[in-house]
Amino acid sequence: MSTRSRIATVVATAVALLVLSIAAGFAFIYSGIYNVSASSKDNPIVAWMLHRTYEASLHRYGGKDVAPADLMSLENIRAGARLYDSTCALCHGAPGQPLSPVGQGIQPSAPSLLAATRRNNPPLMFWVIKHGVNMTAMPAFGKTQSDDTIWQLTAFLYKGRGITKDQYDALKVAN
Ligand code: HEC
């Protein structure tokens, strides 16, 4: 076989494989085999892929915004606690409160952001809160909240790790 016809065979095989995989992709989509219901947990492989993609994206795009100098002021932490209670607790939960029907129903479920073991790095949290997480229930709050407000949420998430019910209740009403 001449070099030329060998190259032609390789190219034809590659094109055939490409067409076949595109066809297989469409067959998968239109077959309805993939169960999209949110009532059962994701397949562990799908869950792993989604989570790794999220973490890699967060570390690639997030963490570049610069926090205000007074980030950890009591005023910011309190404002963050109030907004957390009215807007975030329904999905992420709050100490001593049952999780709302929304929080119980979403898949993947929202992590408990106030757990003592969390890192809650403010610039990374800022990015997630501002831009949301596509294909999950996490909304992009940058569409409705100012950067200052989002920084206040990050201050509360950082200082609120491991918070007790009494501390939480006191913080969210204080002004
Ligand atoms: C409708 C439900 C819902 C609401 C309301 C919501 N979130 Fe989320 N949030 C989620 C879900 C689901 C995830 C997990 C996304 C994933 O699996 O990658 C998430 C993820 C996050 C993360 C990333 C956590 C991590 O470990 O990287 C942060 C930070 C966050 N949310 C903050 C907030 C804040 C602050 C608010 C309120 C202003 C809020 N969320 C409101 C559903 C919600």
Residue whose entry in the numeric block shows the structure tokens 């963490």: 63
For ligand 1, pick from 48, 50, 92 the residue to mutate: most ligand atoms within 8 Å of CB: 92
Residues 13-20 have a mean pLDDT of: 97
CA-proximal residue: ligand 1, atom 30 (nearest): 129
Is residue 40 very low, low, confident or very high in pLDDT (cuts 50, 70, 90)?
confident
pTM of the shown model: 0.92
Q: Where does ligand 1 bind, in terms of residues with CB under 6 Å?
A: 54, 87-88, 90-92, 102, 106, 108, 110-111, 113, 125, 128-129, 133, 136-139, 141, 153
Q: Give the long-range contacts of residues 128-137, CB within 8 A, separation 24 or more.
A: 128/58, 128/62, 129/153, 129/154, 130/65, 131/61, 133/54, 135/50, 136/50, 136/106, 136/108, 137/91, 137/102, 137/106, 137/110
Give the pLDDT of residue 174.
64
Q: Please write the tens of the pLDDT for every residue from 101-115.
A: 999 999 999 999 999
pLDDT tens figures, 62-99: 999 999 999 999 999 999 999 999 999 999 999 999 99
Distance 122 CA to ligand 1 centre (A): 14
Give me the CATH code for the 44-173 domain, please: 1.10.760.10
What are the sequence ranges of the domains in the chain?
44-173
pLDDT above 70 (res 140):
yes
